[in-house]
Structure 1
Amino acid sequence: MRNTIILTILLFIAVIGASIYYFTGLNGEKKETLRPLTFLPEDTFLISTFHNDATTDNIFNDFEIFEALIGKSEMKQWQILKSKLLRNTVLQPYVEGIDIYISLHPEKEHISTLFTIPTHEKMDPEHLAAIMQEANQHFNVTQKDTLGTRIFHLANSRKDFVVHIAYHKEVLFASYSDSLLYKVMDNKAPKLAAAQIDYFVDNNSRNSPLSVYFVHDQVPNIANHLMRNASGNFLRLFEHLGGQSAWNLNFKNDALILSGESETQHRKENYLEVFGQQSKTTQRLFNYFPENTASYLAFAVSNTSRFQQDLEAMFEKRGEWEKIQQQFGELKRSKDLPLVEDIRPIFGNEFAIVEQSNQTQLGFIALSDSSNLSKRIHALASAAGDSIFRFDQANIPYALFGDPFKTFTRPFFIRIANIVVLANNQSVLQTFRQDWRRENLLVNTLGFKNFEKIQGNEANVTFFQRTRTASPIINYVLKPAYGSIFRDKENFGFQDFFSWSAQISGNNGDFLSSIYAIYKSKNALGATADWTYEFDNRPITAPWVFEHSDTSQFILIQEQDHTVHGIHPSGKKLWSAVFQGRIVGDAQQLADRSIVLVTDRNRLYRFDSNGKGLPGFSIALDTEPSYQPTIAELDGQQVVLIPAERKVMAYSLDGKEINRWKENTLDGKILFDIKVRDNRVYVGTDNGHFYQFNAQGEMVKKDVVEASQFRSPIALTAVPDNKIIVMAIDTAGNFVRMDFEHAPEKKQVGSWAGKSIISFDSNNQQNASAVVVIDEKKLQVFGLPDGSARYDFTFTQQVGDRPQYFNNGSLLGIASRENSLIYLFDEQGAVHSGFPIEALPQFYYGKIDYNSGNYLLCVRRDKKLYAFKN
């Protein structure tokens, strides 16, 4: 791939066409007509049409994508034309209910837009003159006769906006280029072919607010018009293809999606035709592509024998097959390795080409059987050191898979899992191998996850271009005029698109095709914050939301220098105070709105909602707390119970230590928090000793789970007869239940690594309803009390942070620190709308004030707390 594939340009053109809604919005039913299209020049780049009804107007009213690609200034001009001209009461009876077409046409240094508006019946010339006379109140209107038609020229006072309007054979034409109007009205100028027009009309969906029509033979012309250099691999797929595509818009406010059908002229020398008799199939190779991927072309074959047959037909048509047979005949004679019979079966049905941000290229080919490669590898290739090989014979990938590998004449390759990765340089492979080991992969980025949710992974051909990594290449390839548009962030929004992509699938000789542009919508969760709060140091706790008064709540969070901040729901600072040490576990609020927490500097704090310490606090503790306190009522008295390794420390709410609790030394280290129910205190330890204490701190019962180790908290649930059951999961994946009367029950529910994270969705007042297990990259959720599997989810990076629970435990929050993504799952395991979002672990989701909506409070690497309204 010599340069990045500039599909961006095609989408840029398509979306310019889409924006005609600002120029329309008239009510009425659709009237099909071929007549308006017969005036369009032969070199038309693209055509689109809108249904002229109120529904279309409403759909696109907040479609940010259009303004991003067309430009703010252009949109304003179209709004003026719409309100001052098309809304004119004299014109409306002629155009009400008419489909309006927009087409794009090449001119010397730019692309000109043509608006084509047929009328129901022939318009009286005096009516048009009256409309122009009224327009004279807002524009400087002049006119002249050309080719027997009167052309009106409308300009604003600064003459930086000029539109030309003509009424020719019962069709209104408008353009910013008068020469384009002359071309349209010139009967001698070549026009679109009748077959092309018929295809557009036949595939123009009545249910789509926008349809787009594209002639394939225009691809080279578009590339030459917009680019400094020759077109890249993707655009070359369309060269000499013939035929056309018709797409219809699928509405989504954070993505442009065009889907439809494509027909070709079945020229066997064209590579894309090899996939015409294939059918869409799952593509998986993108899971291996590096994070710095600028673009890729991925291919998948559903019928191997048909693919091989059509590929050979292509080579024969090009006059290359005999040469390929001669070249590989020597390999068959010398090493008994026939190309089709022995070499092709080594490889699978997927292959791809990746262009990286530094313009280096990688090839990827799936293996059908890695052991088969191991047997044949020394007959095919020679070792180059560092587990890198190089094909002995030139053009093997090209002979097997065709055009994508034409530049990989005699590549080096390595094996990763069940694929081979190719490059023309050993250092490129070494760098990729490092990226693979470090999991620096495209699939681990937030943008690609959003892309995957919109575009599926079933196709025969997929093109993908990532805007951020491809931007330098795009800037270099585009001609200066178009490069400046791409870079202009004030008037345009090209940089706000994560990616551009296209998918093509065989369809009985023709194709199904789709185009996608994924947009970073300003209205999407995580895009535009209601407010931010800046810290001097990195925040180190989750944000908590507590009551501040009868009328408002507030946010509490601690930063790295141990300063604790109280923040108003509007983002304004209420107070701050430096605490001794880092907060351990969670802060908790009591009924009187005071807040209790402990720190790793052996301090117990209790303070009011204004940050003022209550009398007697803070208190020095004898031992460092191992987790957050539990505040419970024992024998009618509020007690603060603090886990501290092998002891339980207890304090009254006025800061007095209850010494009798210190007398108990446990046989293991306390796991997380202490549970309290019905005047009984329950504690679990890492070596399988579980305790039940009474309200006075006396051990009542003890259970020991033999041959088990624990790294998870305990949970409580009530069974018939109000008996309390203690639940835990050991490091071997056993679900353990204890009632302190019978032998503990064990049930194997999983097999996990010793460092798996296990959590229950409960607090001291609730029965646990689910257990959450995070085993490296895999999330599993089991229902309680039976331990039945509910759902699972696999992340692309290892998860090392504990789960969080929101909305009374119905929403599960998971943070992936490695790629700075946070997830929110509902009770059915579906990812909550708007997630994942780029942020650091420890966040909050829910109301931030009594009457507020739901907010996401999260921290990013810039040391700011962000408040995003959902």
Structure 2
Amino acid sequence: MRNTIILSILLFVAVIGASIYYFTDLNGSEKEGLRPLSFLPKETFLVSSFHNDAITDNIFKDFEIFEALVGKGEMKQWQFWKSKLLRNAALQPYVNGTDILISFHPSGEKIVSLFSIPTNERIQGADLETMIREAASDYEVTARDTLGVRIFDLHADSKDSIFHITYYKHIIFASYSDSLIYKVTDPKQPKLSKAAIDYFVENNSRNSPLCVYFVHDQIDHIARHLMRGQPGSYLELFRSVGGQSAWNLNFKNDALILSGESETMRERKNYLEVFGRQSKTTQSLFNYFPENTASYMAFAISSSAMFHDDLQKMFDARGEADRLSNLFQQSAIDSELLTSKDTRQIFGNEFAIVEQSNQTILGFIKLNNSTEFSRQIDLISTQTGDSLFRFDHANMLYALFGDPFKAFNRPYFIRIGNIVVLASSQSVLQDFKRDWARENLLINTLGFKNFERIQGNEANVTYFQRMRSSSSLISNLLKPAFRSDFRHNSDYGFQDFYSWSVQISGNNGDFLSSIYGIYKSKTALGATPEWTYAFKNRPITAPQVFEHSDTSQFILIQEQDHTVHGIHPSGKQLWSAVFQGRVVGQAQQLADRSIVLVTDRNRLYRFDSNGNGLPGFSLGLSSEPSYSPTIADVGGEQLIFIPAGNELLVYGLDGRRMEKWTSEKLAGRILFDVKVRNNEVFVGTDNGYFYQFDAMGQLLRKEVVEGSHFRSPIAFLSTSDQSLSLAAVDTASNLVTVDFKNPAIKRKIGPWHGKSVFAFDQSGSYPAGRLIVLDGKKLVVNQFPDGQLIYDFTFTQVVDDRPQFFDNAGNGKLMGIASRENGLIYIFDEKGSVIEGFPIESMPLYYYGKIDYNSPTFLLSVRRDRKLYAFKK
């Protein structure tokens, strides 16, 4: 797992960003040259510069990521000196309009920061001392002269808290390390190279609030400073590249994003150089990586000819070309065939290395021609098991693709579609085959979905590190001092990052590069609840929100021991009561605020908003309810219609059984809810029987749809003559229309299979409503009944839970979809956009909307810890 060394470097890169929050909020915007760069020691890990204006300060206000990286203790110190020193009224005229630099440097077992602030004009020594003593009036201030430079020491509680300030060459330098101050002011100390400084000045962007500069030669120094052992193979790809990078910050409150340009020494021996003439292209192999991926490095080629030409030049520079050529000549394969352009094109333009959390390694190669690969597979490999092969000759993949496959001497491999998957042992491949069959994949995780939203999939080289899978391994690689900071959750927030990644793309011999740190923001939806409500047992119903009084509402939910809870919008319990059986379907609220529901123990309940049963309730039912009750005015009386298998049970609000409705036995199980329109009641059954009753419970009409079976609800369909028809979708994907006057009409609406889930939404802004289809991983939403596509969406796992619908402040309905397999819920607006903040990790028991009359929008969701979480949107 030594490859995680690169993550530590990325973490260090990110720490630079934190500085900006504390030293902004000054005035002025005129450009000031980066004069301090020429004084920085050669061993400078990173440099950041930013504009000291109010705009920058507003951008970074309350940016959680900065505090997570720099630490709360350091933050407190920096905030103090920003307010006391840089905001000093006497000093501000000297620093207005300049760029402030913060650089990071090694010091013993620590990394120390240096603040460099050029002034517009010279500050007289006596004036500076007066400013400093005035600003630090609460501290002991001492002054000393060293090597002709006057250093002011501001003493706090401990030796490590002494802040050192000097003014040298019209630049204020400040640090908690006096040895670093000495190096800056000593002209004999080696400094940053002129080439690096020129590159940084050239790439200093006034359009970015923060710029970060990095000399590539520091990679080895950083690795040795942070890590206990040797770096892994990933880092080898970046070592000795020479040159430097300049990145600009792209602001996002749940991610640290640095993007810019990189130049190298164009040393042919370095593998990264073979991508210099490439251009960014789509990467897709991550769709195959297993769920336990800890890190991966993926490569994509835009020009195969250029890649192989530059790869050959790399082998020539390394003195390996003849050896690799002999490898092919000694093999059983015709050398011209193996090294020809046609054979190389059997392999596609993507390949990757994946490191799993158990420290095993997988390789992936995309095939361009699966048929030709199958034809040649016996020429280059030997079958060792069922669909399992092993390459016959060592270093073959190294010769074809270079350094990423250097560790794969003679790997085993399998083929999944047009992908070859490699490993050094057969058992690792067998484990992967099981993960693939069970869809235990990285792309099915919530964190990776958020990662995809922020980072694009176009690059030539992508490095990805997943914190959850590698955090403990990274910790063990760090030296004790850095390990302590990495684990220190109360002061730092390293564990709150989902991932770190680097993307590199060729750019006419140089590179475009980006760094991403995806952060689990505490303000993001689903991160920090407003409140939680703990149950003794597992909740078994989705939360519902009802009116409690004229001034408040309440939440209703049931747990596994059949206790029903009434919960105040603040998360406090209002009441609880044990019911007989599990609630079937959803509860309904009447105008008097009483609640009606049924349970699977053949019970009908009606109770007030305080949980007290109304007189005559609960009632025993003759059959087990099969869906939610429907409450409607029929024949001048409000009735409760209860689907109960092949019976329709009807009760008055006083609990009386309506005997006139008991004569008709239905020829199948009722499909979900009962429909009521114009004093008439409509019912559909699973075996194709459709019924129309009058207000007295007398059967008016019955229609039988031969050859169809149904698993989905029925809906009303208004015809051209304004008469009512019923519509339903059968398991053969036919839209069936029944008007009780003419034979039913069947119309094929899609290639959906028998287990597809269909639902109607007739409460939104579409005239006749929407037809929702969940077919495996596919969501399709069409206008009803013409079938015109509104939108579609593909999930990463099969979805078989029925959609839920929520109010959207008069803008149609929001639709919730639960992906039970990977524990995610999505909320879609009417146009098919996923609401900001989703998907959210949760069990498929949730509610989205207001929880009180004047409350903001909340997500109420149940998680595996038997708690109801309330997240404010």
Q: TM-score, normalised by structure 1?
A: 0.98
Question: Which of 863, 868, 872 pairs up with 1:869?
Answer: 872
Hey, what does 1:308 align to over in structure 2?
308
Q: Distance in 2 between matches of 1:244 and 1:313?
A: 23
Task: Give, in angstroms, the shift of residue 740 of structure 1.
Answer: 2.5
Cα separation, 2, equivalents of 1:501 and 1:333: 39
> 8 Å contact 1:393–1:410 — kept in the other structure?
yes
**d(CA) in 2 for partners of 1:563 and 1:33?**
70
Which amino acid counterpart does residue 353 of structure 2 have in structure 1?
A: I
1:134-168 Cα offsets, whole Å, 9 max, x none, are 14422111111112111001111444411110000
Q: CA RMSD in A?
A: 1.7
Amino acid paired to 2:187: N
Give the structure 1 partner of residue 22 of structure 2. Answer: 22
Aligned-residue offset at 1:639:
0.6
What residue in structure 1 maps to residue 638 of structure 2?
A: 638
Q: Is 1:122 equivalent to 2:125 in the alignment?
A: no
Deviation at residue 133 of structure 1 after TM alignment: 2.1
Q: Tell me the equivalent position of 1:97.
A: 97
Say whether residues 1:839 and 2:842 are aligned partners: yes
Could you tell me which amino acid in structure 2 is paired with residue 829 of structure 1? G
Q: Aligned AA for 2:844?
A: P
Give, in angstroms, the shift of residue 111 of structure 1: 1.5
- Post-superposition shift, 1:35? 1.9
Structure 2 SS opposite 1:3: helix
> Which sections of structure 2, spanning at least 5 residues, go unmatched?
none
Q: Are the aligned partners of 1:331 and 1:337 in contact in 2 as well (CA < 8 Å)? A: no
Tell me which residue corresponds to 2:775. Answer: 775
Query: Is the 1:4–1:355 contact (alpha carbons within 8 Å) kept by the matching residues of 2?
Result: no
Q: Secondary structure of the residue that 1:663 maps to in structure 2? A: coil
How much does 1:343 deviate?
Answer: 4.3
| Equivalent residue number for residue 217 of structure 2 | 217
Output aligned runs, 1:291-690, within 5 Å. Answer: 291-331=291-331, 337-341=337-341, 343-690=343-690
Task: Note if contact 2:761-2:769 (Cα within 8 Å) is conserved in structure 1.
Answer: yes
Task: Answer yes or no: is the 8 Å Cα contact 2:829–2:835 preserved in 1.
Answer: yes
The 3-state SS of whatever aligns with 2:3 is: coil
**Once structures 1 and 2 are overlaid, which stretch shifts more, 734-743 or 574-583?**
734-743
The 8 Å contact of residues 18 and 210 in structure 1, kept in 2 or not, is answered as no
Cα distance, 1:98 vs structure 2: 1.4
Does residue 854 of structure 2 align to residue 851 of structure 1? yes
Provide, for residues 373-411 of structure 1, a one-character-per-residue CA deviation record: whole Å limited to 9, x for no partner. 221112111122243211111111111110001000111
Equivalents in 2 of 1:766, 1:217: separation in Å? 61
Give the partner amino acid of 1:163. F
Equivalent pair of 2:18/2:70 in contact (CA under 8 Å)? no
- Aligned partners of 1:737, 1:128: CA distance in 2, in Å? 88
2-structure distance, mates of 1:581, 1:275 = 65
Q: Which amino acid aligns with 1:837?
A: I
Alpha-carbon distance between aligned partners in 1 of 2:271 and 2:235, rounded to the nearest angstrom: 12
Please state whether the residue corresponding to 2:740 is helix, strand or coil: coil
DSSP-derived class of the 2:560 partner = coil
Q: Measure how far apart 1:371 and its partner are.
A: 2.2
Q: In structure 1, what is the Cα distance between the partners aligned to 2:491 and 2:766?
A: 54
Corresponding letter in the other structure for 1:852: S
What is aligned with 2:64?
64
Measured in 1, the distance between the counterparts of 2:574 and 2:10 equals 52
Counterpart in the other structure of 2:133:
133
- Does the 8 Å CA contact 1:688/1:709 hold for their aligned counterparts? yes
Which of the numbers 817, 830, 836 marks the counterpart of 1:827? 830
Deviations 1:165-203 (A, max 9, x none): 000010000011111111111112222222211211222
Count, aligned residues = 870
Tell me the SS of whatever aligns to 2:4.
coil
Distance 1:9 1:488 in 2: 18
> Matched residues in 1 for 2:58 and 2:172: separation?
25
Compute the displacement of 1:24 (Å): 2.9
Are the structure 2 counterparts of residues 100 and 336 from structure 1 closer, same or farther at C-alpha, using a change threshold of 3 Å? closer
CA–CA distance in structure 2, aligned partners of residues 484 and 747 of structure 1? 67
| Aligned match of 2:788 | 788
State the secondary structure of the residue aligned to 2:471: helix
User: Is 1:603–1:619's contact at 8 Å kept on the other side of the alignment?
Assistant: yes
Whole-Å Cα distance in 1 between the matches of residues 762 and 597 of structure 2?
Answer: 19
* 1: CA distance, partners of 2:385 / 2:766: 61
Query: Any conservation in 2 of the 1:276–1:506 contact (CA below 8 Å)?
Result: yes
TM-aligned CA distance change 1:142 to 1:485, over 3 Å:
same
Alpha-carbon offset, residue 688 of structure 1: 1.9
Amino acid corresponding to residue 99 of structure 1 in structure 2: D
Q: Which moved more, 1:789-798 or 1:193-202?
A: 193-202
Opposite residue 838 of structure 1, the aligned amino acid is E
CA offsets 1:544-586 (integer angstroms, 9 cap, x no match): 0000011110000011111111111111111111111111111
Return 5+ residue gaps in structure 1 as ranges: none
CA distance in 1, matches of 2:788, 2:200: 54
Q: Which amino acid aligns with 1:595?
A: I
SS at match of 1:742: coil
Structure 1 pair 131–674 and aligned structure 2 pair: CA distance change class (3 A) = same
Q: Which sits farther off after the overlay, 163-172 or 234-243?
A: 234-243
Q: Whole-Å Cα distance in 2 between the matches of residues 14 and 435 of structure 1?
A: 33
Letter in 2 for 1:264: T
Checking the alignment, whether the CA contact within 8 Å between 1:5 and 1:233 is kept in structure 2 is: no
Letter paired with 2:858: Y
Distance 2:764 2:598 in 1: 18
| Inter-partner Cα distance in structure 2 for 1:662 and 1:160 | 86
Structure 1 residue 787: deviation in Å? Answer: 1.9
Is the Cα–Cα contact under 8 Å of residues 166 and 173 in structure 1 kept in the other structure?
Answer: yes
Offset at residue 341 of structure 1 (A):
4.2
SS in 2 for 1:219: helix
CA distance in 2, matches of 1:722, 1:79: 71
User: Using the alignment, how far apart are the partners of 2:204 and 2:703 within structure 1?
Assistant: 73
Q: Residues 760 and 768 of structure 1 are in contact (CA less than 8 Å); yes or no, is this contact kept in structure 2?
A: no
Partners of 2:416 and 2:469 in 1: CA distance: 24
The CA deviation string for residues 466-518 of structure 1, in whole angstroms up to 9 with x for no partner, is 01111122112212211111111111110000000010111111111110000
Within a 5 Å distance, the mapping from 1:220-235 to structure 2 comes to 220-235=220-235
Determine if contact 2:18/2:67 at 8 Å carries over to the other structure: no
